[in-house]
Amino acid sequence: MFKKLLAEVFGTFWLVGAVLGSAMMAAGIPAVGIGWIGVSFAAGIAVLGGAYAVGGISGGHFNPAVTLGLALAGRTPWSDVVPYWVAQVIGGVAAAVVVFVVASGTAGFAAGTFASNGYDALSPGGYSLVSGLIIEIVLTAVFIIVILGTTSASAPAGFAPLAIGLTLAVIHFVAIPVTNASINPARSIAAAIFGGGDALAQLWLFIVAPLAGGALGGLIWKSLLAPSE
């Protein structure tokens, strides 16, 4: 169990570090900044690499919503859920600390919302709470279904991390303008710690909605889509 939890700490650290690091240190550089499209690819590529690196140890969840969805689909023991959640939050917060320390090493640094998730005034596109709730639930559910489908016995072997990584990138393309793309409570908690204020006040949505989406995706897969044995 220790190795599984350590793998989740590492994978979540890498995923959250890639998202926050690219957003805080690379997205807005004049002339050469990668922008939100680059941040989206950073998320997808990070989960791809993490899944190939340690997915064979822990399953490569790196996200409390994924753990919940896989448990409801019968792919993960319920006894693993809370320990995985703790490991994922630890990995995410550790990544945020590293990003904050590095990003603050430049003149004129301002943490701002620290790439936190948000709605209304904290939404990049000014989207409402309802819009944020819907997009987070629906896209997390889709993400879980893709994970379950690509890792099922009937799927081609060896390609799951690639499909999952590309799907996460597309999810970020869609969700960044709406909520700054959570889909992952560990990522949201990590960013809100340094975003503070309104980011912390809105954090509840980015814990509840991804978990609801994860549960929805797991139940849809198990009841409607899972191949017959």
Give whole-number Cα distances, 192 to 19, 92, 117, 207, 223, in Å. Answer: 14, 11, 8, 11, 35
Local structure of 117: helix, strand or coil = coil
- Phi then psi for 74, rounded to 5 degrees? 85, 15
86 inside domain: yes
14 inside domain: yes
**Residue 76, token pair as written in the block:** 């993960």
Range of the domain at 24: 2-106+117-225
Question: For residues 113 and 149, what is the distance between their CA atoms, to the nearest angstrom?
Answer: 35
| Helix or strand holding residue 37 (H, E) | helix 35-58
Largest Cα separation within the chain, whole Å, is: 60
**Residue 44, token pair as written in the block:** 């997808």
pLDDT tens string, the chain, 229 residues long: the values are: 999 999 999 999 999 999 998 888 776 666 566 787 888 999 999 999 999 999 889 988 999 999 999 999 999 999 999 999 999 999 999 999 999 999 888 877 777 788 899 999 999 999 999 999 999 999 999 999 999 999 888 777 778 889 999 999 999 999 999 999 999 999 999 999 999 899 999 999 999 999 999 999 999 999 887 776 5
Residues in the chain: 229
147 inside domain: yes
Question: For residues 183 and 133, what is the distance between their CA atoms, to the nearest angstrom?
Answer: 11
112 inside domain: no
pTM flag (> 0.85): yes
176 inside domain: yes
**Residue 211, token pair as written in the block:** 């978990």
80 inside domain: yes
- Check residue 115 and give its pLDDT: 86
**5-30 pLDDT, tens per residue?**
999 999 999 999 999 988 887 766 66
Question: For residues 66 and 68, what is the distance between their CA atoms, to the nearest angstrom?
Answer: 5
111 inside domain: no
Question: For residues 185 and 29, what is the distance between their CA atoms, to the nearest angstrom?
Answer: 27
Question: For residues 171 and 113, what is the distance between their CA atoms, to the nearest angstrom?
Answer: 21
The CATH number of residue 25's host domain is: 1.20.1080.10
**Letter for the amino acid at 169?**
A
Question: For residues 73 and 121, what is the distance between their CA atoms, to the nearest angstrom?
Answer: 36
**Residue 174, token pair as written in the block:** 């869609």
Asked if 22 and 131 touch (Cβ cutoff 8 Å), the reply is no
- Check residue 28 and give its pLDDT: 62
Question: For residues 180 and 210, what is the distance between their CA atoms, to the nearest angstrom?
Answer: 13
Domains of the chain: total: 1
**Residue 135, token pair as written in the block:** 């997009």
Local structure of 115: helix, strand or coil = coil
Asked if 84 and 1 touch (Cβ cutoff 8 Å), the reply is no
172 inside domain: yes
